[in-house]
Structure 1
Amino acid sequence: MDVTGHTPLSAAAAADAPQRLTVDLAVSEGPVLLGANGALYGIGDDGVPSDAALAPLKITSITQKPERGAQHPNGDALSVAGSFFRNGGGEINVMMQDVYAEWPYENLGIDDYLPKVDRIVKEVSADPHGDRFVYIPFNEPDCIWYDLGVSDQARYETNRDRFFEDWKTVYRRIRALAPDARIAGPNETGYHTRLMTDFLAFAQRENVLPHVVTWHELGPDSLRDFQGHHDDYRAIERRLGIAPLTISIDEYANRRDLSVPGQLVQWVSMFERNKVYANQAYWDAAGNLDGNVVRTNIPNGGWWFFRWYAGLTGDTVEVTPPQPHTVDTLQGLASLDTSRRQAQVLLGGSDGDTDVVVRGVPRSVFGRTVVATVAEAAWSGYEGQHAAPRVLARTGLEVAADGSVTVPLRDGHRMSAYRIVLTPGGAGTPSVASVPWSASYEAEDAAITGGRVHTRGTVADPNGYAASGTKDVDSLDTASSRVDLTVTVPADGTYDLAILYGNQSGAPATQKLLVDGTDPVTVTYPSTQNWAYRAKKDLGVELSAGTHVLTLAKGDAAVTLDRVDLTARTGAPSASYEATLADIGGSPSYDYSSSAGVGTGALVLREGDRAVFDVYAPRDGYYTVVPRASAAVRLTLHGERVPAAPDRPLRLYLVAGNNRVALTAGHSAVRSLDVSGAGSTDGTLSYAAASAVLTGGAKLVDSAHAFGGSCIDDLGNSPVGAAEFTVHAPDSGRYMLVVHYAHDDRRDNGHAYNTDILSRTADLTVGGGAPRRLTFKNTWSRDDYWTLGVPVDLREGVESVTFRNATGRAPRIARIELGRIHCRT
């Protein structure tokens, strides 16, 4: 998307006028709730996803099954509670009927269910955080057990009365065991005014009102109808004289919406506007926040959108989109924080040009000028990594006499979300945003041989997977299958090539990449959940200025192709993280006297204050980190505290994905944390599987895709089994231990959509220290090796690093690496 200066449109151009999204900072909707960032089965196990992926999102609620529930193999509420609460989570909804194994739930009668209810309540009540759980006694009762959706009124009333009696019985049973328990319901598959009216009247009369009212919004029509549902529900409350209850939409969005920033902004904006809680639906795999976390720790475009959402502070304000309550159109939400002197706008969902008109800009807060910083979070696939969102523009703007500012956005993409931050203008000029040349090419528009164009993720097929341009190319499974893309680049040089793909072959798959029909290069694609569950492969290609044909031809297995992006490489990857947009602790102040550099001013830290930055790394390795500050600061990364001089580079070890870097100071004005590099491994220690001493049945086996061609297998299920590496630390201190592992454990519960993947665990012991339990997420294939980073403390000299699992199977291990968190050389 281009961001340019505003030019008045002529009458002749009116037909092509940009859409207008209007934000009124003078009309408050109340404090930011952040209620729409929840997830159903978003956490699979403690550590899946990682703490660094969870903490920045400030998740207000998640929905999980009861402990030892048979519906899915993981995601037990008490088992994930530690992970959720230590990362700032709010409440856990317990989907109590997920204690059953079958879908729909086996109907064995209320007498079978009540003992299960007793066990669940007793276990949750005994948890130290028992008061932060909410019980959902029934799930989708309109379809399961009670058939409340029947059109025949007599049958409806019979089924309704049976449900109501069971609701009353279970409600009172829960409250008898836990008098302060909070209970949620009725939890239908959608909003039905007939049942809701009857339910509230009954519950009020029998004194069994839920503390949280729940229902699901799962169809594309919800983007049109939710406001009406919400308003109808509140009207029922008023008619019955019921004080407003908390609303939780504990399942929302179609499969095509998840991971897609431009789709998610449509859902989140309507939930936040109405101050309700909402959890994304569980359509596929547990443990990835419903499609927003890649592997365990890597953000995709959806994650960055929710990171932006978590960064809203102050009050939300009125936003008027061009087509309110309309499916797949431009929508947005905005906030104003007068104490921080910031306004933020999140928008997306439409192609083309947009003028964002911000009205009611208070001169007492912003002065006569503002700096507008615009960034984009693009769709990178469900499993496609996304670097820190690219800043598209930093622009100084005068506030008009009527108190408005117009920020024009051009060539927007409907699958992207955009953030506009307004801060007071100061002296100096913001640095011009560096936006390299880039172009995208849809695979379905290419010359296709031996393949098929498939339509996905449209309104007509909402639970189809998302695809760029709603199409991809599959069935590339013959010897002659190929896709020829004609591309044109402006200059000689290296270009970053990003391929959105799917690979369900069960192992890494290859294609041949040719430029103008020559010099074939093998491209290897890691496995994905299925052919349509999109991931992203990044590589570089040398191109001369002009037009070329890029060919992706079948290699050893079929791969589905969606889109190819070409971006001019202008140097090592780099990002500048603005301090005024960081998470804060304490009471720092905001200084906007200078708009030079990143343009958003400085965060003034004193003793007791801190700023936390979310820093992206494309791979495990060393990066150059520079604090832009007025005085000395202290950085804390992976538990290592590092003193830093202003504007002096540090060489720090970052893990692939998100890294939380905390910054403190005695007194320093911090403008940004600048990070650059591609992840150097110079200075790291590497130990292949073959170097480990194996006992108790663990063995070394051949593995073509493992480092060195072999891996450790059959480790675990034995109290004497172990894989012990002997490492040589050059000095004492904190290191990052990176484990290269693979496994593909699953348990098929017979669901039509959930994959029911399993994690494996291993106990890590360093030297004579206490064992530490590590969780390794499923890698989709026993031959696809992912990494898990774990900070450890080593003594100088020889040390042992040992993996065990006495009661279960550990993953396959291909190698380990060790890098000093702060490398001083």
Structure 2
Amino acid sequence: MAATLPAAGSAAAADPQRLTVDLAASEGPVMLGANGALYGLSDDGVPSDAALAPLKVTSISQKPEGGAQHPNGDALTVSKSFFRNGGGEINVMMQDIYAKWPYEDLGIDDYLPKVDRIAKEVAADPNSDRFVYIPFNEPDQIWYKLGVSDQAQYEANRDRFFKDWKTVYERIRAIDPDARIAGPNEAAYHTRLLRDFLAFAKRENVLPQVMTWHELGSGSLRDFQAHYDEYRSLEREAGIAPLKINIDEYANRRDLSVPGQLVQWVSMFERNKVYANAAYWDAAGNLSGHVVRSNIPNGGWWFFRWYAGLTGDTVKVTPPQADTIDTLQGLASLDTSRRQAQVLLGGSAGDSDVVVKNVSRSVFGRTVTATVAEAAWSGYEGQHATPRILSRTKVKVADDGTVTVPLRGMHKMSAYRIVLTPAGTGSPSPAAVPWSASYEAEDAAITDGKVYTQGTVGNANGYAASGTKDVGSLNTATSKVAFTVTVPKDGTYDLAILYGNQSGRPATQQLSVDGGTPATVTYPSTENWTYRAKNDVGVELSAGTHTLTLAKGDAEVTLDRIDLTARTGVPSAQYEATLADISGTPSYDYSSSAGVGTGALVLRSGDKAVFDVYAPRDGYFTVVPQATAPVRLALHGETVTTTPGKPLRLYLVAGNNRVALTARHAAVRSLDVSGNGSTTGTLSYEAASAALAGGAELVDSPYASAGSYIGSLGNGPGSTAEFTVDAPRSGRHVLVVHYAHNDRRDNGHAYNTDIMSRTATIKVGDGTPVTATFKNTWSTDDYWTLGVPVDLKKGSNTVTFGNTSAWAPNIDRIELGRVVG
């Protein structure tokens, strides 16, 4: 999926686009305002702490406690995990107390008691100062119809809204005198209303502390800058000091999860220093489509991880075409204390030159290392490994202070990161970029299937699809899609299939090479046919041209694209220490560019570096800190000291793992991780081995690993499942629960799934029970995993699952792996 290879001197058939970065033109401190989400959290643990913390989310929008609009995502409930993971503030969507969409209009007298209850609950919270009240949502369309063209009718509707705004505003302030209130929160930017609103709110002393409106259509990529500029002029016209702005809903389905689309939105918001929350179109709890399951990154997550890694000041970026839909855009930062410059860009295919101006020799020296990586689109529910490094090159700073980094063969749906650091002596390890190629399903030979067009500029709320098309209706016995592929040499290739499966259970297709014996490919369920996921399988191919056929198996599967990548050995990744999250006051040493090329991070007592380490599955991986002295490594609540270069065998959970390093005094260059997720040495127990009580029962299922799962668990204090596990050694373990459930509550929202989570208490021996949250798996026959750290003693231990007040998830089996294997 990452075929782009930037290299000095690359030739292009046409003149490349040029994106210019001026390191001398500061736009102010990096704000990270554009990383928010509407209903980004659904429960404590969905998304996981490890998926949430790295993004440094500055704001989210959630419903009030007990709100009927959705079954979860209550602001006070999710605040615990949000604040625990460094979150900024929470917007309370007060009208989401209502069940219907659009909200049922029962009059202001019905709404005011609800306002009172919400304000009292928020004001009583110990973190009340970190909540923002949003009294009205899209009043231009809901209740007040402020978008009417008839001026007299508009004024009547406007005056009704203004009267209610003042009433609700004063009601909130009477209960919570320090309340911050946001509005008017229209569905789009409207000059007419905003001019009138600012004048009214100033006159009546009910001015919001945060100005909000929505930017949802593709046209916002063209128009937002003009909206922002005009709004600031309206403030000046009204004699109002600049208010904080939160675009508390932005982007459509075709944008979410797509790095190349997201960079266009984020760059314009960060440039103008406004906050922004991505919209909620489908499922709560995945940060608006950027977290797979609860803990697994997709391409969009990695883009936001890069965004969260910007430090210092943002600097001016001049794209080839400003304020133009679906074009190359970017943002950049300069941190002189760390001696780093970073550029994030994307949104266009083809070739580009990134020209970085005013590269200070006092900061960077005469030569820099340019490190380029790609975050590709992997679907909404498709896992994305650590972004591949495409190149590490030492580049001389030109006499005029410029550095040019060429990018060739960019992918439209990808985002790219360029990091510039002082080069020092030595040479960085060359980037190992395996051969890769992509093939669109709509361009393949299709039998008994149909090509559909998905998200486009004209249909922005359609789902994203590679090339804007996919192949569906593969629902007859003869349905198949045959791809003609050409590979350069004999060997094993990783085949990534972007697909959708709305059958309600695992679905299969038959994969054959050149008409040979087919192999069964099994696809886990997805939200719908177009909520794209990614399935990874391996195929053996000889050099030359082949036909890869995916034929219908036991159910319909939608196909979007396949990617073939040459397998070059055991999967591995190097995580640069100088780009890790830090606390304390570590220093940055660029005297040598060996290894990852970005120098070394010098840790002393009191310093800490935290790495985000991806694992494709639960299991053991080899972890090697490249350090000059012993370091202490912390993972899953376990701490281990290792000597320089010594491999550690550590248990990682599927998805993201937060690995912390500390030291008395050590220069750390990178954290190197390799492996396939070995289960050697783990303990595994099937559902049938558990002792069941209180109505919990063993249920036969062909989809369970050993033919049965534990069902009807919980919903009462006596309903439990107790596993007896035999630990060869005492210590910290990860308990991996294979589970399924498909709880939903239909609120009648055509564009929301309203999925629900289940919880279970887990008790080891006589220890204190812990509560774990299990996200909906889209189907009762699809088993996901959740890892929970536990402590086991040597010998026999009991692990008991239950839930006294609600149903626990169905449990297929459990595994336990000691953190340090």
Assess same fold via TM > 0.5. Answer: yes
Q: Post-superposition shift, 1:394?
A: 0.1
* Separation in structure 2 between the aligned mates of residue 647 and residue 8 of structure 1, nearest angstrom: 36
Q: Specify the code of the residue in structure 1 equivalent to 2:18.
A: R
* Separation in structure 1 between the aligned mates of residue 33 and residue 299 of structure 2, nearest angstrom: 20
* Separation in structure 2 between the aligned mates of residue 717 and residue 495 of structure 1, nearest angstrom: 47
Asked whether 1:158 is paired with 2:156, we answer yes
* Separation in structure 1 between the aligned mates of residue 72 and residue 772 of structure 2, nearest angstrom: 15
What residue is the counterpart of 2:46 in the other structure?
Answer: 48
Q: Post-superposition shift, 1:718?
A: 1.5
What residue is the counterpart of 1:603 in the other structure?
Answer: 601
Residue deviations 1:328-375, cap 9 Å, x none? 000000000000000000000000000000001011100000000000
Check conservation: 2:180, 2:209, Cα contact below 8 A: yes
Q: Specify the code of the residue in structure 1 equivalent to 2:683.
A: L
Asked whether 1:449 is paired with 2:447, we answer yes
What residue is the counterpart of 2:497 in the other structure?
Answer: 499
Residue deviations 1:55-114, cap 9 Å, x none? 000000000000000000000001100000000000000000000001110111111101
Q: Post-superposition shift, 1:4?
A: 4.2
What residue is the counterpart of 1:545 in the other structure?
Answer: 543
Matches within 5 A, 1:67-78: 67-78=65-76
Q: Post-superposition shift, 1:448?
A: 0.3
Q: Specify the code of the residue in structure 1 equivalent to 2:500.
A: G
What residue is the counterpart of 1:407 in the other structure?
Answer: 405
Instruction: Please state whether the residue corresponding to 2:617 is helix, strand or coil.
Output: coil
Asked whether 1:241 is paired with 2:243, we answer no
Residue deviations 1:212-268, cap 9 Å, x none? 000000000000000000001000001111110000000000110000000000000
Q: Post-superposition shift, 1:473?
A: 0.3
What residue is the counterpart of 2:659 in the other structure?
Answer: 661
What residue is the counterpart of 1:321 in the other structure?
Answer: 319
Q: Alignment partner for residue 394 of structure 1, among 392, 407, 410? A: 392
Q: Specify the code of the residue in structure 2 equivalent to 1:669.
A: A
* Separation in structure 2 between the aligned mates of residue 636 and residue 754 of structure 1, nearest angstrom: 39
Q: Alignment partner for residue 739 of structure 1, among 726, 737, 740? A: 737
* Separation in structure 1 between the aligned mates of residue 611 and residue 9 of structure 2, nearest angstrom: 36
Identity of aligned residues (%): 78
Residue deviations 1:691-749, cap 9 Å, x none? 00001111001111111010000111111100000001111110000000000000000
Q: Specify the code of the residue in structure 2 equivalent to 1:599.
A: G
* Separation in structure 2 between the aligned mates of residue 324 and residue 381 of structure 1, nearest angstrom: 27
Q: Against the structure 1 CA distance between its residues 294 and 8, is the aligned structure 2 distance closer, same or farther, given a 3 Å change threshold? A: closer
Residue deviations 1:24-74, cap 9 Å, x none? 000000000000000000001000000000000000000000000000000
* Separation in structure 1 between the aligned mates of residue 593 and residue 759 of structure 2, nearest angstrom: 49
Matches within 5 A, 1:462-541: 462-541=460-539
Matches within 5 A, 1:732-771: 732-771=730-769
* Separation in structure 1 between the aligned mates of residue 7 and residue 261 of structure 2, nearest angstrom: 27
Q: Specify the code of the residue in structure 1 equivalent to 2:569.
A: G
Residue deviations 1:579-634, cap 9 Å, x none? 00000010000000001111000000000001000000000000000000000000
What residue is the counterpart of 1:189 in the other structure?
Answer: 187
Residue deviations 1:515-550, cap 9 Å, x none? 000121000000000000000000101111111100
* Separation in structure 2 between the aligned mates of residue 438 and residue 6 of structure 1, nearest angstrom: 21
Check conservation: 2:10, 2:408, Cα contact below 8 A: no
What residue is the counterpart of 2:145 in the other structure?
Answer: 147
* Separation in structure 1 between the aligned mates of residue 382 and residue 700 of structure 2, nearest angstrom: 29
* Separation in structure 1 between the aligned mates of residue 87 and residue 206 of structure 2, nearest angstrom: 28
Check conservation: 2:6, 2:390, Cα contact below 8 A: no
* Separation in structure 2 between the aligned mates of residue 242 and residue 225 of structure 1, nearest angstrom: 23
What residue is the counterpart of 2:723 in the other structure?
Answer: 725
Asked whether 1:339 is paired with 2:337, we answer yes
* Separation in structure 1 between the aligned mates of residue 6 and residue 380 of structure 2, nearest angstrom: 31
Q: Specify the code of the residue in structure 2 equivalent to 1:769.
A: G
Instruction: Please state whether the residue corresponding to 1:2 is helix, strand or coil.
Output: coil
Instruction: Please state whether the residue corresponding to 1:806 is helix, strand or coil.
Output: strand
Q: Post-superposition shift, 1:2?
A: 3.4
* Separation in structure 2 between the aligned mates of residue 6 and residue 374 of structure 1, nearest angstrom: 12
Q: Alignment partner for residue 61 of structure 1, among 59, 62, 68? A: 59
What residue is the counterpart of 1:88 in the other structure?
Answer: 86
What residue is the counterpart of 1:131 in the other structure?
Answer: 129
* Separation in structure 2 between the aligned mates of residue 717 and residue 679 of structure 1, nearest angstrom: 35
* Separation in structure 2 between the aligned mates of residue 2 and residue 181 of structure 1, nearest angstrom: 50
Q: Post-superposition shift, 1:460?
A: 1.1
* Separation in structure 2 between the aligned mates of residue 3 and residue 456 of structure 1, nearest angstrom: 29
Q: Specify the code of the residue in structure 1 equivalent to 2:234.
A: I
Q: Alignment partner for residue 308 of structure 1, among 306, 309, 313? A: 306
Check conservation: 2:6, 2:372, Cα contact below 8 A: no
Instruction: Please state whether the residue corresponding to 1:558 is helix, strand or coil.
Output: coil
Instruction: Please state whether the residue corresponding to 2:782 is helix, strand or coil.
Output: coil
Q: Post-superposition shift, 1:3?
A: 3.5
Q: Specify the code of the residue in structure 2 equivalent to 1:579.
A: A
Residue deviations 1:158-207, cap 9 Å, x none? 00000000000000000010100000000000000000000000000000
What residue is the counterpart of 2:555 in the other structure?
Answer: 557
For normalisation by structure 2, the TM-score amounts to 0.99
Q: Specify the code of the residue in structure 1 equivalent to 2:228.
A: H
What residue is the counterpart of 2:776 in the other structure?
Answer: 778
For normalisation by structure 1, the TM-score amounts to 0.99
Runs of 4+ in 1 over 2 A off after TM superposition: 1-9
Residue deviations 1:430-474, cap 9 Å, x none? 111000000000011000000000011111110000000111000
* Separation in structure 1 between the aligned mates of residue 23 and residue 707 of structure 2, nearest angstrom: 60
* Separation in structure 2 between the aligned mates of residue 337 and residue 281 of structure 1, nearest angstrom: 31
Instruction: Please state whether the residue corresponding to 2:595 is helix, strand or coil.
Output: coil
Instruction: Please state whether the residue corresponding to 2:195 is helix, strand or coil.
Output: helix
What residue is the counterpart of 1:2 in the other structure?
Answer: 4
* Separation in structure 2 between the aligned mates of residue 599 and residue 144 of structure 1, nearest angstrom: 55
Unaligned runs of 5+ in 2: none
Check conservation: 2:290, 2:299, Cα contact below 8 A: yes
* Separation in structure 2 between the aligned mates of residue 8 and residue 120 of structure 1, nearest angstrom: 60
What residue is the counterpart of 1:253 in the other structure?
Answer: 251
Q: Specify the code of the residue in structure 2 equivalent to 1:767.
A: G
* Separation in structure 2 between the aligned mates of residue 587 and residue 56 of structure 1, nearest angstrom: 19
* Separation in structure 1 between the aligned mates of residue 4 and residue 443 of structure 2, nearest angstrom: 23
Matches within 5 A, 1:269-288: 269-288=267-286
Q: Specify the code of the residue in structure 1 equivalent to 2:341.
A: A
Instruction: Please state whether the residue corresponding to 1:391 is helix, strand or coil.
Output: strand
Q: Post-superposition shift, 1:8?
A: 9.3
Matches within 5 A, 1:431-442: 431-442=429-440
Instruction: Please state whether the residue corresponding to 1:16 is helix, strand or coil.
Output: coil
Q: Against the structure 1 CA distance between its residues 714 and 4, is the aligned structure 2 distance closer, same or farther, given a 3 Å change threshold? A: closer
* Separation in structure 2 between the aligned mates of residue 101 and residue 781 of structure 1, nearest angstrom: 25
* Separation in structure 2 between the aligned mates of residue 289 and residue 151 of structure 1, nearest angstrom: 36
* Separation in structure 2 between the aligned mates of residue 633 and residue 252 of structure 1, nearest angstrom: 43
Q: Specify the code of the residue in structure 1 equivalent to 2:687.
A: A
Q: Specify the code of the residue in structure 2 equivalent to 1:250.
A: D
What residue is the counterpart of 1:220 in the other structure?
Answer: 218
Unaligned runs of 5+ in 1: none
Q: Specify the code of the residue in structure 2 equivalent to 1:804.
A: G
* Separation in structure 2 between the aligned mates of residue 586 and residue 366 of structure 1, nearest angstrom: 23
* Separation in structure 2 between the aligned mates of residue 646 and residue 543 of structure 1, nearest angstrom: 40
What residue is the counterpart of 2:688 in the other structure?
Answer: 690
Matches within 5 A, 1:796-807: 796-807=794-805
* Separation in structure 2 between the aligned mates of residue 534 and residue 470 of structure 1, nearest angstrom: 12
Instruction: Tell me how large the CA RMSD over aligned residues is.
Output: 0.8
